[in-house]
Amino acid sequence: MMARDPGLVLDRLSRSAFRTRFRLGEKEKTYLDAKATDVIRSHATDFVAQRLAPAQPRNEGRQTPMRGHPVFIAQHATATCCRSCLAKWHGIPAGRALSEQEQVYVVDVLMEWVRRRPGQVQR
């Protein structure tokens, strides 16, 4: 797998009108303020492993809810919501399970997006 920089991909995604529409609501901001970064990272790791990493994810293209957790919103904002978006924006092909390294990369992208949100408490 080629080295990927979460910051560079987020800069590229910032030019997408669709991806920049995703914002955290007050509920998600409050949730982030109440949880430590390692808790959010743990949730992101679990969501990626369960919903994105399999070669044939259940409900492919619809496996990531649009609300309910800050990581879900981050997944849509960072094009890590489904395997086709992951292939298009991140160059990680569909049809095979994500490697451990690719899963770590996806989580790093999600956490960088969360970190960059204006007004968020940094821990």
pTM, 2 dp: 0.88
pLDDT of residue 47: 95
**Positions in the chain short of pLDDT 50:** 1-2, 118-123
Coil, helix or strand for 92? coil
pLDDT of residue 120: 44
pLDDT of residue 121: 44
pLDDT of residue 3: 53
Q: Give whole-number Cα distances, 120 to 31, 114, 116, in Å.
A: 11, 8, 8
pLDDT of residue 62: 73
Structural domain boundaries in the chain: 6-116
pLDDT of residue 123: 44
Contacts of residue 13, Cβ cutoff 8 Å, sequence gap at least 6? 19, 20, 77, 78, 79, 89
CB burial class (10 A; 0-12, 13-18, 19+) of residue 107? buried
